[in-house]
Structure formats: C-alpha cells, structure tokens
Structure 1
Amino acid sequence: MNKPIKRAFLDTEDGQILYRIGGEGEPLLLLHMNPRSSDEYRELMSILVKKYRVIAMDMMGFGDSDKPPRMYTIADYAKTVITLLNELGIKTTSILGHHFGAFITGEVAATSPERVEKIILCNVAGFGEEGKAELSRRFTKGFNIKEDGSHLIERWSARASYAGSAELNHRWVLDDLKCFGYPLYAVWAVGNYCLDAAERFSSIKCPTLMLWGIHDVEEFEKLGLAKEKDRFFITKAIPHGKVVDFPGGTICMMNQIPEEISKVVMEFLDNTSV
C-alpha cells in the first residue's frame, strides 16, 4: 500500500509556503532546484516515504508558494526551513538539496547545526567570478511573457533534449511558467552566496553525502556557467563528506533515476557509523 503524500500551507510573515508531507519515521527534508518546486521530488518521495517522514517544500517564489516581498538571500531561505521545522515540531532532520536547494541545505547546516542530523548535497556547482557574471547575464531578468506566446515553446525547447519524456518536460515547463513575470529569486540568491560558499560550508561538521550527475556537470561547463573542476571546492570545504557520481545523471536526475538515488541516500541515512 502506497503511503499517502499530502499537501499543506505554512503561513509566514512573507507569505504562504506550500509543502508536501508523507510517511513516518525519521524526518527527511527535500529542497528543490531552480526553477522547480517540490514536484521535483514526486518520484523520490514515493520511494522514501516507505521508510521516513518526508517533507518537500516549494521555496518562496516557486511553485505554489507565494512570491516574497523582496529579493531573498540564501540566509532568508534557510530561515524559512527552520520556520517549517518549528511548525511541524521537528527538532532535528536530515536534509537533501539539489542545486539551489543544496546551497540552502549547506547554509542550514552551517548556521543551525543543532537542527541537522545529516545532509545530502546534490550537484553543487562551483561558480567563480566568471560563472557568477554569466548567471547574472543570462538569468537575472527572469522569464518574460511574450505577446506571440513564443516564450512557451522556448521553455519547452530549453531542456527537451535531456528531459527524457514529454510528460517530465511538461512538468518542468509548468514550474517555469509560475516564475514568469518575476525575478528569478534563486539565481540572485545563489549569485550573491556562491563566492562565500566554501567558507560557509567549511563549518559543516555533520555527516555529508555529495551526489553529482556527471552529465549535469558537463552541461554547466558547456553553458559557461561553472567549470567541472571547480565543483571540488565542496570536497575541500567538507573533507569528511562522501562522494557518489552518477555518470549519466542529468539536471533532471531526481525524476529520471529515483531508484538509484534513493538507494544511495537510504544507505547513507541508515549507516550509523557516519
């Protein structure tokens, strides 16, 4: 019998946050990438709820959460995580974050270590000065609605080559469209955080697992956003972390290979020696 996953809203001073929750046992919080939502973890949650109490939230500005009244920093996003944990009565949790969500995960572990058991950081890109500038050039204006509707096919085409299915690409585009007409909050937040990320992450002491989809890493280098070699800043900052590579893992890997990812994640979470 499948464990039911329910949706609910959390009221905050800056608006409402949607979250999905299901399962029983030790808590595990999932933080999505930009410009996705908790839908990014639909497949993964259905597996993990069999063993854990799993929560996935739409970060402010994404999915069905409200748009924040100002540009949010990674520190702001980390505070919303703590707000949700407090609302749910969760004293400590493990956290998995992908891309944008991984930076938030690291910040929570650095600033609120007493609330974190273990963390899983997925596809953390090493953005240098050039990468930060390219992020700003490409994305900070956000997605704009065009009179002829051409923005719809543009978003469809953006990742059609590696989404793997029309159904998954459709889900991504739906998340894209909820961001149209607003700033890409995550890009601004990561851009203002990334150059200090190594220093911030160096204070993390909890058990840490680092996952990389190699196709994703290679694609970021092709786009001029982040060099493959620069991803290793995180292994230097968190030398006690364990690293697992998925050779064919794309930016969509949470949806495409949930069985492989969940196996590695569960082995890490259940290992009492780390």
Structure 2
Amino acid sequence: MNKPIKRAFLDTEDGQILYRIGGEGEPLLLLHMNPRSSDEYRELMPILAQNYCVIAMDFMGFGDSDKPPKLYSVADYAKTVIALLDELGIEKTNIMGNHTGAFVSGEVAAAYPERVNKLILCNVAGFGEAGKVDLMRRFDEGFVIQEDGSYLMERWLARARYVGSAELNHRWVLDDLKCFGYPLYAVWAVGNYCIEAAERFSLIKSPALILWGIDDVEEFERLGLALAQDRYFLSQALPHSKVVEFSNGTICMMNQIPEKIAKTVFEFLDSANF
C-alpha cells in the first residue's frame, strides 16, 4: 500500500518553500530539475516512502514556492536545503537530485558533509565554457509572456515530443508556466556553478551513485548544451562512485520509469557494503 504524501511550507527570510513529505524511517531528500518542481517525484515518492521518510521540495522560484527577491546561486539553494532539514529536525539525510537538483545535492555534500549520508546524482551534464555561454544566453532570453498567448502552445509542443503522455506533458507545462515572467533562476545558478562543479564535487566523501538516462544525454547533445562525453567528468570527480545507466523513456525518467529508479535506489541505500 502506498504511503500518503502530505504538503507543507517552510518559512524563510526570502519567502515560503513548499515541500512534500511521506513515509517513515531514514530520511531521503529529493531535489528536482529545472524548470520543474517536487511534482517531478509524484510517481516515485509513494514507492520510496514504503521504506524511507521521503521529502521533496520546490526550489525557490519554482513550483509553489515563492519567487526569491534575488538570483539564487547553487550555494544559496544548498542553504535552503539545510534550512529545511533543520526545520524537520533531520541531522543527516540521503539526497537524490536530478539535473539542477543534482548540482545542488553535490554542493550540499561538499559544503555540509556532516549532513549527508549517501548521495544519488542524476543526469549531471558537464557544460564547460561553451555550455556556460549557452546557458547564459538562455538566461538572457528568459521565458516571455506573449500577448497573443502563443507561448502556451509553444511550451506544449516543446515538451510533447519527448515527455510521452498528455497528462505528464500538462504537468510539466504547468511547472514551466509558473516560471514565466521571472528570471531563469536555476539556469543562472548552474551557469555560474558549472565551471567549478568538478572541483566542488571532488570534495565529496559520501558514498555516491550516479544515474544516467541515455535518452537524456542524447537530448542535451542534440540541443548543443553538452557533449555526451562531457558527462564523464562526474565519475572522474567521484572515483569511488557507482554508475548505472537507463535507456528507453529516460528523458523524464523520474516520472516515466519510477519502478526501475526505485529498485536501483533501494539497492544502493540498503547496501551496507558500498
């Protein structure tokens, strides 16, 4: 039987942060990609909550969290993670992050090693200088609200070609639209962090699992954001890590293959020998 997932808010000096929580036992924090929200883990959370106390937060500027009064760096987002853990009385947690969430997860493990048990990093692209330039171009362009409403169909079509279902596309586009008219917070944060990411990640001592969706890797290459081989920077920065790759429906893998993800996560977290 799936455990119920409840929602609540954390008050911070920059606004409220929405988080979802369910299950009991050892904590596992889930951090979402850009431009999504904790909804990215809607399928996965009830499965993981059978064995763990699972928490997923909306980063500031995303989902139902408030828009912050300033641009947040990856380090700023890491501080909000610590604020949520403190609010919940959690001294140490496992963390899993996807894309932007993985950069934040890595920074939490590097800056606050005493707060992290095991770490799961998903789809962490190595952008490099060229990637940073392209990220900043996307930041400058932003998500623009158009008077004729044409941006609504543009977002639907942009996601529909690889999301896999109308219902999932609808949820993704809703998250997209909540970001319109505001700075692309995560793009700016990752763009300014990506050059130092390998150095920061090399500080991580926690046991680490690296998950890759091969379709996701190919999509980044198609967009010109990162080459497929750029992903290997992560396993080089974390030579003690284990790597698992998924194919077939892995661009939105948290939603599309939650059972496979959960099985791999359980095996990693439950292993005493890793």
Which TM bucket (shorter chain)? over 0.9
CA distance in 1, matches of 2:37, 2:269: 23
- Write out aligned runs for 1:16-31 (5 A): 16-31=16-31
Is this contact kept in 2: 1:18–1:64, CA < 8 A? yes
| 1:63-95 Cα deviation digits (max 9, x unpaired) | 000001100000000000000000000000000
CA distance in 1, matches of 2:217, 2:84: 31
- Alpha-carbon spacing, 1:72–1:93, altered in 2? closer, same or farther (3 Å): same
Cα deviation for residue 135 of structure 1 reads: 1.4
- AA aligned to 2:232 is F
1:49 aligns with: 49
| 1:183-225 Cα deviation digits (max 9, x unpaired) | 1100000000000000000010110000000011011011110
CA distance in 2, matches of 1:271, 1:250: 25
1:33 aligns with: 33
Give yes or no for the alignment of 1:71 onto 2:71. yes
Cα deviation for residue 146 of structure 1 reads: 0.4
2:174 aligns with: 174
Is this contact kept in 2: 1:18–1:65, CA < 8 A? yes
1:259 aligns with: 259
Q: Secondary structure at the match of 1:159?
A: helix
- Which sits farther off after the overlay, 121-130 or 249-258? 249-258
TM-score (norm 1): 0.99
Is this contact kept in 1: 2:117–2:207, CA < 8 A? yes
Is this contact kept in 2: 1:14–1:68, CA < 8 A? yes
Is this contact kept in 2: 1:159–1:169, CA < 8 A? yes
Q: Secondary structure at the match of 1:255?
A: helix
Q: Secondary structure at the match of 1:19?
A: strand
1:242 aligns with: 242
- Alpha-carbon spacing, 1:249–1:209, altered in 2? closer, same or farther (3 Å): farther
Is this contact kept in 2: 1:139–1:184, CA < 8 A? yes
Kindly, what percent of the aligned residue pairs are identical? 76
| 1:233-252 Cα deviation digits (max 9, x unpaired) | 01110000000000224331
Q: Secondary structure at the match of 1:40?
A: helix
Aligned residues: 274
Segments of structure 1 that go 5 or more residues without pairing to the other structure are none
Segments of structure 2 that go 5 or more residues without pairing to the other structure are none
Is this contact kept in 2: 1:162–1:250, CA < 8 A? no
Give yes or no for the alignment of 1:8 onto 2:20. no
| 1:147-180 Cα deviation digits (max 9, x unpaired) | 1100000000112111110000000000001001
Q: Secondary structure at the match of 1:190?
A: helix
- AA aligned to 1:79 is K
Give yes or no for the alignment of 1:228 onto 2:228. yes
2:272 aligns with: 272
TM-score (norm 2): 0.99
Note the aligned Cα RMSD (angstroms).
Answer: 0.8
2:101 aligns with: 101
Cα deviation for residue 141 of structure 1 reads: 3.0
Q: Secondary structure at the match of 2:42?
A: helix
CA distance in 2, matches of 1:264, 1:77: 26
1:186 aligns with: 186
Cα deviation for residue 116 of structure 1 reads: 0.3
Runs of 4+ in 1 over 4 A off after TM superposition: none
Is this contact kept in 2: 1:37–1:175, CA < 8 A? yes
